[in-house]
Amino acid sequence: MNIFLKQSRRKPIFTIFMIILLCLSLTLSLIGFSAYTSMQKQFNDINGDYTTIAVLQESIPEGTGNAFGENFLELAKREFEAFEKAQKAPMLKKEEARVYLTAHVPGSVSLSSSRIDPSELNQPYFDDDMYSLCVFAVECKSVEETVFLDMISYDAKLEVIEVISLSSAYDWYPEITEVSLSSMDYNADGSIPIKAGSKYLIYGSYGEYYTMPIIESFRDVESTDGKKMYSFGEGYMQLRGEFGTRTIEPAAALSDIGLYNGHRISGEKDGLTYYYSLEDQLPWIAEYTGTVDEFLESEEGKVWKEEIIPLCRKNQEGALVALTDNLDSIYPFSVGSSFILEGRKFNEKEYSGEKNVCLISSDYAMINGFEVGDKITLDLYSSGILWLESGARDNSAVYTGEQGGFMIRVPIRPKNSINLCKEFEIVGIYSTPRFSFGPTSFDADHIIIPKKSVPNAEQYLGTYYQDFTSFILENGTIDEFEQYMSEQGYPDMFIYNDQGFSEMEETLLALEANAKRMMTLGMSVFALITALFLFLNFRRMMPVIRGVRLLGKNAGRTRNEVFAVLFMEETISVIIGTVLAAVLYNSVTSAMLSETIALDFKNLLSAAAALLGILGILSFMLSGILSNVKLMKRK
C-alpha cells in the first residue's frame, strides 16, 4: 500500500481542493492557450488578406525619341541592377513573376479591340497579330513598287472575292470589298509574289484602322540561329532576345533591342535590298485559278485548308493567359483598379494546383456568355508576348498621344503548344479597364489561372520577367525595404502598395499583443499554481517522507510512491481542466460562428499533454530531491 496515497485519502478535502486548484489553473492556462492560438490564427488570416508589393517604377521616359539613347541604356541598366538587389532583400517574402501563355479556347470569341466600341479604343496593336489573323481570297488590281533608300517594297490594291477566315469581331464592319497590301516580302529570287489581274489567297493580319482596309502579309518564321522570329509584313520582328533576363550584361543585350531591325534574310536586286522569308514556312500567298473551293481541294490548297485556315480560327478564338501565384500581387488588383466583380479569388488549394480554375474578365464573359461555374477548355501555347516600351499611338476619338508601353499578342503556332489542354472552372469574374497602357497594364482579354495549373510554369517566364514581377514583402516592411534599397544605392525606384494594411496594422498589432498577453498570463498562473500545488503537497508529505525513510524505505522507492500520488492528482487535474477549458471556451466561441476562433481540440489536447508532461517532470524531480532527505542532518 502506498502510504502517501493513504495520506491523501485520509484528508480528502485537502486533496480534492488541491486538485481543484490545479485544475482551475490548468483551465485558465488552456483557455489562454486556446485564445492565443485563435488570435494567432486570426492575425495570420487578416495578415494574409493583405499583400504588400513593391513594383519597379518606370524610370525610362516615354517617347521613342529617348528609347534608344544613352540615357535609356543607363536607366535600363539601373533598373536591372535595382531589380537584382531587390531579389536579395531580407524582407522579401516572395518574388512573384506572372507567366504569360496563350490559349485556344474552342468555340469562344476573342476580346478583340475591334469587337468593342471603337470610340473607346480602336487600337490596332491590341488585335495584332493574334485576333486579326485572316485568310482572304483576292484579285490583285495593281502593284506598285517603292524604293526607300536602298530598300524596295511594294503596295498592292486588292479586290476581295471572299473572306475565308476572319474574326467575327469584324462582322459589324461594312462589307469588305477592297484591301491594300503593303509588304517587303519578296520571292527568294527578288521577284514580287503578286501581280495585277491574278487571284490569290492571302494569309495575314487584318486591320481596319486606316482609311483603307489593310492586310499585312504574315508568315510564320523560324530563324536559322534558333531565335524566335516572325514576319510582320514590313520586315522581320524579333523578340527582344535576352534583355530582361539575368544571364547577360544588359548593356550588351540592348544593342539587340530593335523591334523592326532583327534578323533578316536579304537579297540584292539591281543594287537594292529586298527581303524574303525562309523556306519550309507556311505560305502567306498562293495564286489560284477557278474557285476557292476547287483550290482548297487541290494538292496545293491542302496546306491552306488543313493548316492555315484552322490556325487562323485558333487565333481568332484565342486569349492571353496570365499565370500567377497571388492575384493581389498584380499591381492593378493590388491598387483596386482591377477587382473581382462576381465570384471569388482563388483559394489556397486552387493556388496549389489541386483544382483547375480560372478568372475571366467581365467583358470576356459578356461576349462569350460565360458565367461563374461554367467550364472552359484552354489549349495552352507558349507563344510569348511582345512588349512595346513606348510609341503606341491610338486613333480613337477619346484618347490620343503616346500612352506608354503595351502588349502585342503573338499568334498561336502549333510548334509552341505546351501539350496541355484541360478544362478550367470559372470561379470569378473580374473587372478591369478593357485596354490599358503602361508597365502595369492588365487588359480584359486575360484569363487568369493559378501558376501551379501548368507544370513547371516558370520555364515559360519569357523575356519580360522584370516587367511582370512584383516583389511580395512582409506586411509592414515597406519602409525597411525602401531603406534597404537606399542603402544599396537605389532609392525611390519602387512603388509600393499594401492594400490598406498600414491602416489595419495597429489593430493587428493589438491582436498579436493580446494573444501574447493571454498566453503569458495563462502560463504565469500555471507556473505559480504549480509551485503552490507542489509546495502544499510536499509540506504535507515531508513528515511522512522522513518517517518512511527513517523506517528504512529507500529513497528511490519513496520517490516513486510520492511521484505516483502526485502524478495521479495531476492527471486528474489535467483531465478535468482540459474538459472544463474545452467546454467553457467552446460554449463562448461557438455562438460567434467564426471559424478562426473556434476551438481547436487537437491543439488543446496537445497543450494539455505538454502541461501534464511539465507537471510530471517537475513532480518527479522534486520527489527525487526531497525523498533523498539527509536523515542525520535534519530533525
Partner 1 sequence: MSFSLLSVTFKALCRRWIASLLLVAVAAAGTVSAFVLNGLISRQEEALENTKKNTVISCVVTDYSGSSSGNLSMLSAFVEMLTGKRRERDCFLDDYVKNVRAMAGTPLLSPENHALRRILSIDSDPLLDPINGVSVEFYEGYSEEVLQGREMVCIVAPDMVTENGYIIVSPDENTEAEIKIVGILNGGPTGIIYCPFFMPFEEEISVAFYVNTCSFDIKDNTKLKESKDYIYEFFVVPDVMNKNDGLTFGVLVQDETYHKSLGEINSNLTMLRIMLPVLMIICGCIGFFAGFLMTKGRIREFATMRCIGMKKMQIFFLVIGELLFLAAFGMLLGGGIGFIIEGNLSPKAISDSAIITAVYIIGTAIAALRIVRINIMKLSNKEE
Could you say which residues in the range 16-35 bind partner 1, by CB under 8 A? 17-18, 20-21, 24-25, 27-28, 31, 35
* Chain residues 471-510 in contact with partner 1, contact rule CB under 8 A: 495, 499-500, 503-504, 506-507, 509-510
Give the integer Cα–Cα distance in Å for 19 and 21: 5
Q: Which amino acid is residue 208, in one-letter code?
A: E
Q: Which of 616, 614, 529, 517 is nearest to 566 (CA)?
A: 616
Is residue 588 within the footprint of partner 1 (CB under 8 A)? yes
Q: How many CA atoms does the CB half-sphere of 613 hold within 13 Å?
A: 6
Give the integer Cα–Cα distance in Å for 372 and 632: 85
Q: Which is nearer to partner 1, 360 or 376 (CB)?
A: 360
Which residues contact residue 46 at a Cβ distance below 8 angstroms, ignoring those fewer than 6 apart? 504, 508, 511
Query: 44 φ, ψ to 5°?
Result: -65, -40
Is residue 618 within the footprint of partner 1 (CB under 8 A)? no
Binding marks (x or -) toward partner 1, 141..180, rule CB under 8 A? ----------------------------------------
Which stretch in 240-248, 289-297, 534-542, 555-563 sits in contact with partner 1 by CB under 8 A? 534-542
Give the integer Cα–Cα distance in Å for 295 and 202: 13
With CB under 8 A as the contact rule, the residue among 536, 568, 614, 618 that binds partner 1 is: 536
Q: Which is nearer to partner 1, 138 or 565 (CB)?
A: 565
Q: Which is nearer to partner 1, 79 or 128 (CB)?
A: 79
Is residue 110 within the footprint of partner 1 (CB under 8 A)? no
Q: How many CA atoms does the CB half-sphere of 437 hold within 13 Å?
A: 18
* Chain residues 512-531 in contact with partner 1, contact rule CB under 8 A: 513-514, 517-518, 521, 524-525, 528-529, 531
Is residue 68 within the footprint of partner 1 (CB under 8 A)? no
Q: Which is nearer to partner 1, 117 or 268 (CB)?
A: 117
From the centroid of its chain, how far is CA 581?
Answer: 42
Give the integer Cα–Cα distance in Å for 112 and 170: 9
Q: Which amino acid is residue 31, in one-letter code?
A: I
Q: Where would I find the beta strands (DSSP E) of 149-240?
A: 151-165, 178-183, 185-186, 199-207, 214-217, 220-222, 228-231, 236-238
Is residue 511 within the footprint of partner 1 (CB under 8 A)? yes
Q: Which is nearer to partner 1, 357 or 392 (CB)?
A: 392
Q: Which three cell numbers stand for residue 438?
A: 503602361
Q: Which of 38, 36, 31, 37 is nearest to 577 (CA)?
A: 31
* Chain residues 309-338 in contact with partner 1, contact rule CB under 8 A: 331, 336-337
Is residue 539 within the footprint of partner 1 (CB under 8 A)? yes
Q: Which is nearer to partner 1, 236 or 468 (CB)?
A: 468
Q: Least Å distance between CB 32 and partner 1?
A: 8
Which residues contact residue 412 at a Cβ distance below 8 angstroms, ignoring those fewer than 6 apart? 102, 104, 130, 311, 314, 315, 318, 381, 383
Q: Least Å distance between CB 539 and partner 1?
A: 6
Is residue 402 within the footprint of partner 1 (CB under 8 A)? yes
Query: 420 φ, ψ to 5°?
Result: -135, 110
Q: Least Å distance between CB 342 and partner 1?
A: 8
Q: Which is nearer to partner 1, 273 or 362 (CB)?
A: 362
Counting Cβ atoms within 10 Å, is residue 219 exposed (0-12), middle (13-18) or buried (19+)?
buried
Q: Least Å distance between CB 397 and partner 1?
A: 6
CA dihedral (110, 408, 391, 54) in degrees, to 10, reads 100
Is residue 122 within the footprint of partner 1 (CB under 8 A)? no
Q: Does 155 sit behind a cis peptide bond, omega within 30 degrees of 0 on the bond before it?
A: no
Q: How many CA atoms does the CB half-sphere of 180 hold within 13 Å?
A: 11
With CB under 8 A as the contact rule, the residue among 73, 78, 81, 120 that binds partner 1 is: 120
Which stretch in 203-211, 214-222, 314-322, 360-368 sits in contact with partner 1 by CB under 8 A? 360-368
* Chain residues 252-271 in contact with partner 1, contact rule CB under 8 A: none
With CB under 8 A as the contact rule, the residue among 157, 540, 546, 553 that binds partner 1 is: 540
Give the integer Cα–Cα distance in Å for 357 and 347: 10
* Chain residues 37-56 in contact with partner 1, contact rule CB under 8 A: 38-39, 42, 45-46, 49-50, 55
* Chain residues 551-580 in contact with partner 1, contact rule CB under 8 A: none
With CB under 8 A as the contact rule, the residue among 76, 89, 101, 121 that binds partner 1 is: 121
Is residue 431 within the footprint of partner 1 (CB under 8 A)? yes
Q: Which is nearer to partner 1, 124 or 235 (CB)?
A: 124
